[in-house]
Amino acid sequence: MAEAWPVWGNGQIRLREHTYLSHQLPPNELTSSVRAILFRGEEVMVITDYKEEPYVVPGGRREPGESLETALRRELLEEIGWHVGQTAVLGFIHFYHLTPKPDGYPYPYPDFVQVVYTAVATSYDSAAIVPDPHVASARFCSLEEAFTLNLSVGQKALLKAAMSNRSGKD
């Protein structure tokens, strides 16, 4: 669906990234994180990171023994303060490490995935937010505005698919 080559950790970790649409979950042992495209009515959540780059897939890492759905709800609450109602699997992002495994790296290697859901925001709780240096701001914006932002090709494809799923269109 989409391909990219991100660089993380101040250039120390180079990856190949593929984004896929699928309602089937990838292997549990490869799933390190969960993310969601979060809707509130006709608006979508947009986060701006510390580099002032926008993204529409808030979420984060699973804790040991945590189910995907529990991790998703916890991460959205901690990262942006939103409780969510209905969720549905939208797809996943598959990453492949192009660099050697870092010392002490506790996550799946060389392949890992982030499952992406759609979710509906229900209520906001600012007291639940755990400060994160990677999150500079979070806000809802119109879908039209979201598509004008400098989102990755994969995120735009996921957002388009999420919109289609909500409207019942292909």
| C-alpha triplet 31, 65, 17: angle, nearest 5° | 10
pLDDT band at 4 (very low <50, low <70, confident <90, very high): confident
Span 66-114, pLDDT tens digits: 999 999 999 999 999 999 999 999 999 999 999 999 899 899 999 999 9
Q: Please report, for the domain that includes residue 14, its CATH number.
A: 3.90.79.10
Span 10-59, pLDDT tens digits: 788 899 999 999 999 999 999 999 999 999 999 999 999 988 999 999 99
Tally of structural domains, the chain: 1
Q: What is the pLDDT of residue 168?
A: 57
Instruction: Provide the domain limits for residue 79.
Output: 2-167
Token duo for residue 148: 């004008």
Query: H-helix or E-strand containing 170?
Result: none
Q: What is the pLDDT of residue 165?
A: 86
CB 76 within 8 A of CB 82: yes
Token duo for residue 168: 């019942």
Q: What is the pLDDT of residue 19?
A: 96
